[in-house]
């Protein structure tokens, strides 16, 4: 579903991504791990066509991210770190706005399903600015899912949420895994172990390893994912 070949991104003299190559399969849940500044969000922005790579190539569902921008955008959506909702609209108004923007057919039926799936029915007439952090994050992801993407990018989906809100969101992501490819970044290793099929570790713009949890443990000779991650990124330690 995603093929990335030697992607490089430079900002002046800063090399944010340095020859990154890997693939993500159809209906796979893939986690990209790395410290802040490692290049995770930059890569997501390139794959979603918000940013152009300096070098290399990538395809989404067979479409080139540079040559076939419109086709790529039809197949992807993103819930960014910053909660992407209109705070002065209600939950339902946010969903209607996105449905109209994307010209979604049978929009009301799909909105009703989304409200149920994301446990937002009782909040449908509540202004987004009055929602809790967990509810806001669910709405942000719901807006992306409403467009029925083939690939959903989740950039730090549970950042700042309390334990209960995080658990609820994990349950929702687990239900979505069968219907789309999910590409997420996170700092929560428990999240990775619960949700993902494979893991990529990026450090200072370079991919250090890609594989299942078991493959990363075998590669590093470590007993836990945390130990494996720290070994793979040890040059970033202060």
What is the C-alpha to C-alpha distance for residues 160 and 175, in angstroms, rounded to an integer?
Answer: 22
Contacts of 135 (CB under 8 A, 6+ apart): 120, 123
Q: Which residues pair with 151 in a beta bridge?
A: 76, 181
pLDDT value for 150: 95
* pLDDT beneath 70, residues of the chain: 235-238
Q: What are phi and psi of 12, to 5 degrees?
A: 65, -125
pLDDT value for 25: 95
161-188: per-residue pLDDT in tens? 888 888 988 998 998 988 999 999 999 9
pLDDT value for 61: 96
The helix or strand, by DSSP H or E, that contains position 201, with its residue range, turns out to be strand 198-203
Q: pTM of the predicted model, to two decimals?
A: 0.93
- Domains, the chain, ordered by start: 2-236 (3.40.50.300)
Q: Give Dmax (Cα) for the chain.
A: 53
């Amino acid at each position: 579903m995603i093929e990335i070949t030697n992607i490089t991104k430079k900002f002046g003299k800063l090399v944010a991504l340095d020859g990154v190559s890997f693939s993500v399969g159809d209906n796979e849940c893939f986690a990209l791990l790395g410290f802040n500044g490692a290049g995770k969000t930059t890569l997501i922005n390139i794959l979603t066509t918000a940013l152009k790579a300096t070098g290399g190539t990538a395809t989404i569902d067979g479409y080139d991210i540079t040559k076939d921008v419109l086709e790529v955008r039809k197949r992807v959506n993103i819930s960014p770190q910053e909660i992407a909702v209109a705070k002065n609209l209600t939950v339902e108004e946010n969903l209607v706005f996105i449905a109209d923007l994307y010209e979604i057919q049978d929009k009301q039926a799909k909105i009703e399903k989304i409200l149920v799936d994301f446990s937002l029915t009782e909040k449908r007439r509540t202004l987004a600015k009055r929602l809790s952090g967990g509810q806001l994050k669910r709405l942000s992801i719901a807006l992306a899912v409403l467009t029925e993407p083939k690939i959903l990018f989740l950039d730090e989906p549970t950042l700042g949420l309390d334990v209960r809100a995080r658990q609820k969101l994990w349950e929702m992501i687990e239900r979505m895994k069968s219907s789309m490819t999910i590409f997420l970044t996170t700092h929560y290793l428990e999240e990775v172990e619960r949700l993902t099929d494979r893991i990529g570790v990026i450090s200072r713009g370079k991919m250090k390893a890609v594989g299942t949890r078991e493959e990363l443990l075998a590669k590093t000779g470590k007993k836990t994912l945390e130990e494996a991650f720290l070994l793979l990124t040890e040059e970033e330690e202060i």
